[in-house]
Amino acid sequence: PMTPQTQMYIGSQSKSFTALAIAILAEQGKLEIDAPVQTYIPWFKVADEQASGKITINHLLHHTSGLSDAGYGIVLPLKTSAEDAIRSLAKAELTERVGTKFQYFNMGYAVLEYLIELQSGQTYAEFVQENILTPLGMDTSTADPATASDMPKGYTRIFGFSMPAKEEYPLYSVGAGWIVSNAVDMANYAIEFQTNQTKLVSDAMMRRILSPGIGNYGMGWFIYDSGARIVHGGANQTFRTEVNLYPNRDRAFVLLTNQGYQVDHFVSASQLTASVEAVVLGRTPPSIDESWSVK
Q: 289: pLDDT confidence band, cut at 50, 70 and 90?
A: low
Distance of alpha carbon 131 from alpha carbon 292, whole angstroms: 40
Distance of alpha carbon 213 from alpha carbon 219, whole angstroms: 9
Which of 14, 168, 200 has the alpha carbon at shortest distance from 78?
168
Residue 292 above 70 pLDDT? no
Q: 295: pLDDT confidence band, cut at 50, 70 and 90?
A: very low
Annotate 33-57 with DSSP letters as a single string: TTSBGGGT-TT---SSHHHHTT-BH
Which of 35, 72, 78 has the alpha carbon at shortest distance from 57?
35
> Phi and psi dihedrals of 184, rounded to 5?
-65, -50
Q: Note the pLDDT tens digit of each residue in 177-213.
A: 999 999 999 999 999 999 999 999 999 999 999 999 9
pLDDT of res. 264: 74
Distance of alpha carbon 58 from alpha carbon 64, whole angstroms: 8
Q: Note the pLDDT tens digit of each residue in 264-287.
A: 777 788 888 999 999 999 999 987
3-state helix, strand, coil in the chain (%, to 5): 45, 15, 40
pLDDT of res. 179: 98
pTM of the model: 0.94
Residue-level length of the chain: 295
Q: Note the pLDDT tens digit of each residue in 224-235.
A: 999 999 999 999
Q: Is 245 helix (H, G, I), strand (E, B) or coil?
A: strand
Which of 9, 1, 215 has the alpha carbon at shortest distance from 105?
215
Q: 293: pLDDT confidence band, cut at 50, 70 and 90?
A: low
Mean pLDDT of the chain: 94
Average pLDDT over every residue of 147-166: 86
Q: 140: pLDDT confidence band, cut at 50, 70 and 90?
A: very high
Distances from the Cα of 293 to the Cαs of 63, 265, 280, in angstroms? Answer: 27, 14, 20
Residue 99 above 90 pLDDT? yes
**How many percent of the chain have pLDDT more than 90?**
83
Q: Note the pLDDT tens digit of each residue in 5-32.
A: 999 999 999 999 999 999 999 999 999 9
pLDDT of res. 254: 97
Q: 252: pLDDT confidence band, cut at 50, 70 and 90?
A: very high
Instruction: Kindly give the residue spans of alpha helices, DSSP state H, lying in the chain.
Output: 14-27, 49-52, 57-62, 82-87, 106-120, 124-128, 174-177, 183-195, 203-209, 262-263, 269-280, 288-291
Residue 1 above 90 pLDDT? no
pLDDT of res. 85: 98
pLDDT of res. 268: 81
The lowest-confidence range among 53-62, 196-205, 219-228, 283-292 is 283-292
Distance of alpha carbon 32 from alpha carbon 28, whole angstroms: 10
